Amino acid sequence: MRLADAFAAESKRRPKFIPYVMAGDPNLATTEAVVRALARNGATAIELGIPYGDPLADGPTIAAAGARALAAGVTIEDVLALVARLAPEISASIVLFTYFNPLDRYGLERFARDAAGAGAAAVIVPDIALEESEELREIFARHGIDVPMLVAPSTPPARAAKIAAASSGFLYIVSRLGVTGAASEPDFAPMRRQVAALRAATDLPLALGFGVSRPEHVRAIAADVDAAIVGSAFIDALAGLSGEDAVAATDRFVAELFAHD
């Protein structure tokens, strides 16, 4: 499903829910079952991480998940095959999360073609700067793949507006400086000031990630942004689990995260 359609669809979640899952941690069969459970639990989109050995934006939880997936031998081809199985059968959009180096090695044109053929809706590449992203964005656009860009708390307003103009699908707002990871007491005040400016600059949905991990965080941002991106806290909730145990933990995590709905 295209992101525009996913965000336009009615949702039982407020804000809309975008969880992050590392493909192949602990195995691909568990990832497939968990993604299906997330879609059943009302996820608007699902970020599916492609494991990579030098994940600059990832905190320790997601980096460790990627290392486990790499140790299990998971490849880009495996992840794309997983997307091809899932995309026709779930209601959520699938957003691939990767880095420029593995994309470059695979080939941008080839990856865009294969991702589109598998049914992916978008690709997030957190380590590519706006000035270096034009070719990548053009290639993916030709294949109907959105490229959500990231805006940091330190991004000046004029530059944030340029990033918003280059983004497609949604705009990824980073709640804090640094890497991903659950935060006990995130400060959302800077985000609120930034959101007010971004609403004037773009009609894209705004999604907030990095540190969103608790029900009170979701409640706190519900009136400000269109979607909450939750990664490290969800991966922690699945630690050591596989198969039906991981599915049951997924159901519990989402129910608790959105207990206010």
Q: Which of 53-62, 171-180, 190-199, 225-234 is modeled with the greatest confidence?
A: 225-234
In the set 10, 25, 32, 47, the catalytic residue is 47
147 or 177: which leads in pLDDT? 147
Q: Would the pLDDT of 185 be above 70?
A: no
What confidence score (pLDDT) does residue 188 get?
A: 80
Counting Cβ atoms within 10 Å, is residue 152 exposed (0-12), middle (13-18) or buried (19+)? middle
Alpha helix locations (H) across 97-231? Answer: 100-106, 108-118, 134-142, 157-166, 189-201, 215-221
* 78 classed as catalytic: no
In the set 58, 78, 114, 226, the catalytic residue is 58
What pLDDT, in 10s, does the model give residues 5-32?
A: 999 998 878 899 999 999 999 999 999 9
* 47 classed as catalytic: yes
- Domains delineated in the chain: 11-255 (3.20.20.70)
Residue 177 pLDDT level (bands cut at 50, 70, 90) = low
Residue 182 pLDDT level (bands cut at 50, 70, 90) = very low
The single-letter DSSP state of residue 46 is E
Q: How far apart are CA 125 and CA 30, in angstroms?
A: 24
153 or 165: which leads in pLDDT? 165
